[in-house]
Amino acid sequence: MSGRREHRGRHEPLVITIRRPRARVALARSDGELIMAALADAASYREWRARQWCESCDAEPEGTCEDHLQDGALTGAYRALAARLADVLPEPGGGAP
């Protein structure tokens, strides 16, 4: 992956390092909005799943099976990632188009 910045329209790029120290990707505001929407959707879905009952949940002394505990953990992880990204992604609808 190239380390050069890509400009999409008049959007200011967001450059983040991924996997390798010199690997970079440029994100437009619309990319950031899509990432945040995807994380919100994923968190909502996992939260819904975590509240579902199954036979395995009934067999657990705590009342929640391992799969549904994992759904709850992922809900929190998705929301935590969204909060961290909110500090670095461009504001939705703000700034230059």
* 56 lies in some domain: yes
* 45 lies in some domain: yes
* 9 lies in some domain: no
* 22 lies in some domain: no
* 24 lies in some domain: no
On the question of pLDDT at 10 being above 70, the answer is no
Question: The tokens of 84 are what?
Answer: 């961290």
Q: What is the arithmetic mean of pLDDT over 32-36?
A: 90
On the question of pLDDT at 2 being above 90, the answer is no
Long-range contacts of 20-25 (CB under 8 A, 24+ apart): 25/1
On the question of pLDDT at 95 being above 70, the answer is no
Domain range for 44: 29-86
Predicted confidence (pLDDT) per residue in 65-94, tens digit? 999 999 999 999 999 999 998 888 766 665
Does residue 44 contact residue 38 with C-beta atoms inside 8 Å?
no
- The whole-chain average pLDDT of the chain stands at 78
Q: Give the whole-number percent of the chain exceeding pLDDT 70.
A: 70
* 97 lies in some domain: no
Domain count, the chain: 1
pTM of the predicted protein model = 0.65
* 55 lies in some domain: yes
